[in-house]
């Protein structure tokens, strides 16, 4: 996979994440550097493992078990609701500031 292909994939994932956040009434991490790090990790995992695995969680190696941590993982709604953000700091609750 070339750097260009990785960059294109990152753009696609960013658009997907923006769309997903908007649909849920959330925002993405306002810190662009942190956001790019997560997006890059998602793109790398997609290229390496064929699934958009969470870059902040450990894969068990069991494909069935690891479906839980394909982004958006099964934990993210609770995390955004209870902690204001998902574990990776990709999705954030909107603040009324
Ligand atoms: S913690 Fe966030 S970035 Fe990681 S898989 Fe869950 S929703 Fe995606």
pLDDT in tens, 32-55: 999 999 999 999 999 999 999 999
Residue whose CB lies within 8 A of the most ligand 1 atoms, among 18, 66, 74, 88, for a mutation test: 88
Output the domain CATH number for residue 27. 3.90.460.10
Low-confidence ranges of the chain (pLDDT < 70): 1, 96-97
Which residues are 85's β-sheet partners? 92
Boundaries of domain holding 18 = 3-93
Distance from the alpha carbon of residue 57 to the mean position of ligand 1, in angstroms: 8
Please state the atom number of ligand 1 nearest to the C-alpha of residue 55.
4
The three-state (H, E, C) secondary structure of the chain, written as one string:
CCHHHHHHHHHHHHHHHHHHHHHHCEEECCCHHHHHHHHHHHHHHHHHHCCCECCCCCCCCCHHHHHHHECCCCCHHHHHHHHCECCCCCEEECCCC
Q: Whose CA is nearest to atom 4 of ligand 1?
A: 54
């Amino acid at each position: 996979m070339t750097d260009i292909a990785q960059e294109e994939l990152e753009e696609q994932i960013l658009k997907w994440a923006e769309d997903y956040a908007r649909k849920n009434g959330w925002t993405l991490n306002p810190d662009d550097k942190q956001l790019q790090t997560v997006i890059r990790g998602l793109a790398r995992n997609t290229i390496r493992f064929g699934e958009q695995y969470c870059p902040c969680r450990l894969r068990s190696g069991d494909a069935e078990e690891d479906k839980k941590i394909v982004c958006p993982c099964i934990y993210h709604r609770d995390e955004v609701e209870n902690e204001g953000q998902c574990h990776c700091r990709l999705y954030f609750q909107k603040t009324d500031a």
